[in-house]
Amino acid sequence: MSSTVLITIISLSLLAFMSAVILYFVAQKFKVYEDPRIDEVQAALPAANCGGCGFAGCRNMAEALVKADSFDGLNCPVGGAPVMAEAARILGKIAPVVDPTVAVLKCNGSPEFRPKTSSYNGASECRITASLYIGETDCSYGCLGNGDCERACAFDALHMNIATGLPEISDDKCVSCGACVKACPRNLIELRKKAKKDRKIYVACSNCDKGGPARKACKVACIACTKCQKVCAFNAITIENNLAYIDATKCTFCRKCAGECPTNSILELNFPPKKPKIEAEAETANV
């Protein structure tokens, strides 16, 4: 080997070695102490970084869990009970039982029920249309159909149905992170308690106008006639601002309210078809 090569190798190696030594000491001097449990808890979390827990990413949630005295108010909706149990085990705390939830759309105003009364032209984002005017129908509370919720969903659980103009939520993919709830400018999406076999009963309407204008705008609007409230034996239904609401924690899925509703505003999903002796219209189970 020529002397040039030798000198080059030696000088570069020396440079590398010196840098390594300097870096080691600097790293030691400026080291920030972090509780090693944060890394352990973070490894247990699903790493989706969706913000559903209310924190800015899984690392932030891990830090909060380690710092907290108890797990009250802290929950990872994506990971659910198994992940919270694991975190509890690592930190020696108790994970409270939190009911799993799923997103539902409180509007059923497809064009067959809710006629179009104007034609919107412009940037297709729901938040822009909502700030401009009432929307392409006469219902000032209903879904605008431009898909802000679909764009917000990071789990591929929400897709716009072109025929109905409404978003469809897939129960198995929805992790209840709440991104769609925040994205909807009309607050139409609610995280409701999950029931067995993905059954759902809820008032698919958010219209707070009086019965007359509500019904004129949409055939399946809630007109606050209070028939559902009267027939519910479990006090699960409240009526406020001309709109009925079914409390999912009290509802026993007896389905009596849906049968009473004169406008078919209450949606029953994933139930077996009603027995033929009941003359009420069978709700179509798949939306």
Q: Cα separation of 161 and 215, whole Å?
A: 23
Q: How far is the CB of 113 from another protein (least distance, A)?
A: 17
Q: Cα separation of 140 and 161, whole Å?
A: 21
The residue count for binding another protein (CB under 8 A) is 21
- Near another protein by CB under 8 A, which window of 11-19, 39-47, 133-141, 235-243? 133-141
127 counts as binding another protein under rule CB under 8 A: yes
Q: How far is the CB of 210 from another protein (least distance, A)?
A: 8
Q: How far is the CB of 187 from another protein (least distance, A)?
A: 15
Q: Which of residues 17, 24, 133, 234 is near another protein by CB under 8 A? A: 133
- Near another protein by CB under 8 A, which window of 14-22, 116-124, 156-164, 219-227? 116-124
Q: What is the 3-state secondary structure (H, E, C) of 6-74?
A: HHHHHHHHHHHHHHHHHHHHHHHHCCCCCCHHHHHHHHHCCCCCCCCCCCCCHHHHHHHHHHCCCCCCC
216 counts as binding another protein under rule CB under 8 A: no
Amino acid sitting at position 70:
S
**CA atoms within a 13 Å half-sphere pointing along the CA-CB vector of 68:** 19
117 counts as binding another protein under rule CB under 8 A: yes
Strand partners, 246: 237
CA angle 101, 127, 238 (to 5 degrees): 45
Q: How far is the CB of 144 from another protein (least distance, A)?
A: 12
148 counts as binding another protein under rule CB under 8 A: no
Residues 171-210 that bind another protein (CB under 8 A): 209
Q: Which residue ranges make up the site for another protein (CB under 8 A)?
A: 116-123, 125, 127-128, 131-136, 138, 140, 209, 213
